Amino acid sequence: MTLLIQNIAHGWVGDAAGTRVAGALRIKDGVIADMGDLVPRPGEEVLDATGCVVTPGLVNTHHHLFQSVLKGLAIDAALDVWLQEVPYSFWPRISEETLRVSARIGLAELALSGATTVCDHHYVFSERYDYDPADVLFEEAARFGIRFVLARGGMTQGRDFGPGTPPPPIESLRGFLDRTAATAARWHDPSDNAMTRVACAPTTPNFNFVPEALPEIAAEARHLGLRLHAHLSENEGYAAQTLASFGQRPVPWLASKDWLGPDVWFAHLVDLTPDEVTMLAETGTAMAHCPQANARLGSGIAPAPALYAKGGTVSLAVDGAGANEAAHMGGAMYAAFALHRAALGVAGSQVGKIIHWATQGGAQTLGLPKVGTLAPGMAADIALFDLSAPQNLGLHDTALAPVITGSATVRHSLVAGRFVVRDGQIPHLEMPRLAADAARTTANLAQFAKDLEPA
């Protein structure tokens, strides 16, 4: 069975040079078999790309799907108060059913905005749960047919958010490591075009573990072939804390714990010195750049262009919808495009570079070398952005649309040659039912929040 995508007039390879594509693309056995001036073969299925911009499927390298039912809370709070009032207040209420509904909302938004690979950093694992969040997330991703990396988070100590906040979801170090290993045994596929992967992802190393645990975690993860992920330097509070507690800024401190390298990526990295940027670039440690969440929480603008200019790896991410209600890949691309220009002038970003960060850069970050590039031999993960909505009309350079309109959605998307979105719809998903499930779940959580309020 082969599929020919023809009449491609506008598209991007996803490479660092910002190379454009046009013509046709043949998919065989889940892989891009050929590209160029191709004509349909007898009996071949044909997909018409007329009126679309074609890109590699987008890669979202940092998310928290459990937050898709926690939107619009603590809207004027900065990071610390937001953490207290949103994830660390609501986590005991994330039942299996709530997590499923939340994951479906997030995955639907991501799929319709062109994501074909999603990394979810799930960090609430507790012995109080009667279900395994890892299994739930992999099952929901499989229903969408989306490529899924679980960054298995967790913590052995919580931050003290004061009275009224539930105790944090902590595990013993051994429990964290053993459960991560068990999840990896079940779901981690090390192959270059894996549909499921596991990374070892302590929630926030400087707050959630004793320093002595970090080299042990890195060694065990590497022994299992797992990449390392965590939150880092989301705002200036991180450096203040590591300087006060450990006498170093976050990046050199983690370097001393074996926590830098080409198998490591961090979310945010907003507050970095030039020396820290250099250390990240020289070690190949990648950034999951979350421009919208950093803006929403008032944390700042991460120096992604500086890291990239020094040869570092940059990827794009929406972060959890609790801190970025616009958890849409088009929004993330537009935010990166616009914010770096606001900070640095028009040289601060280019459309081709943003596409690269959202595709090949994401694949490099997650260690999926067969993903994120339109070229023969690569996995057939492809997004066809629909240009029929009014925000796309009137464009003189149509290929710019997915980045500069900030709101493009896909007509079709494929993962390994299989449709995730077809004709603007997610085939298995009944949207009115999801809306009803979301309304019921949100109402239950709102009642819980009301019950918490002092009388």
Of 267 and 378, CB closest to Zn ion: 267
In the complex, what is the shortest distance from the CB of residue 317 to Zn ion, in angstroms, rounded to a whole number?
Answer: 8
Find the binding residues for Zn ion in span 175-194 (CB under 5 A): none
Find the binding residues for Zn ion in span 139-158 (CB under 5 A): none
The DSSP code for 278 is H
Binding-residue pattern over the window 386 to 405 for Zn ion, x denoting contact by CB under 5 A: --------------------
Could you count the other beta carbons within 10 Å of the beta carbon of residue 188?
Answer: 20
What does the alpha-carbon distance between residue 306 and residue 272 come to, in Å, rounded to a whole number? 10
Of 85 and 319, CB closest to Zn ion: 319
- List Cβ neighbours of 176 (8 Å cut-off, separation of 6 or more): 125, 154, 155, 156, 202, 217
In the complex, what is the shortest distance from the CB of residue 25 to Zn ion, in angstroms, rounded to a whole number?
Answer: 34
Find the binding residues for Zn ion in span 289-348 (CB under 5 A): 319
3-state secondary structure of 153: coil
CA end-to-end span of the chain, whole Å? 65
**Count of residues touching Zn ion (by CB under 5 A):** 2
Of 26 and 229, CB closest to Zn ion: 229
Of 110 and 400, CB closest to Zn ion: 110
In the complex, what is the shortest distance from the CB of residue 320 to Zn ion, in angstroms, rounded to a whole number?
Answer: 6
Using CA atoms, how far residue 428 sits from 27, 142, 285, in Å, is 23, 11, 37
Q: Where are the alpha helices (DSSP H) in 1-132?
A: 79-85, 87-90, 96-112
In the complex, what is the shortest distance from the CB of residue 62 to Zn ion, in angstroms, rounded to a whole number?
Answer: 6
Of 271 and 319, CB closest to Zn ion: 319
Q: Which of 26, 21, 109 is nearest to 398 (CA)?
A: 21
In the complex, what is the shortest distance from the CB of residue 121 to Zn ion, in angstroms, rounded to a whole number?
Answer: 6
Q: Which of 232, 243, 208, 199 is nearest to 367 (CA)?
A: 199
Of 70 and 267, CB closest to Zn ion: 267
What does the alpha-carbon distance between residue 355 and residue 392 come to, in Å, rounded to a whole number? 17
- List Cβ neighbours of 17 (8 Å cut-off, separation of 6 or more): 352
Q: Please name the amino acid found at residue 418.
A: R
In the complex, what is the shortest distance from the CB of residue 288 to Zn ion, in angstroms, rounded to a whole number?
Answer: 8
Of 294 and 373, CB closest to Zn ion: 294
Could you count the other beta carbons within 10 Å of the beta carbon of residue 213?
Answer: 18
In the complex, what is the shortest distance from the CB of residue 31 to Zn ion, in angstroms, rounded to a whole number?
Answer: 32
Binding-residue pattern over the window 243 to 272 for Zn ion, x denoting contact by CB under 5 A: ------------------------x-----
Q: Site residues (CB under 5 A) for Zn ion?
A: 267, 319
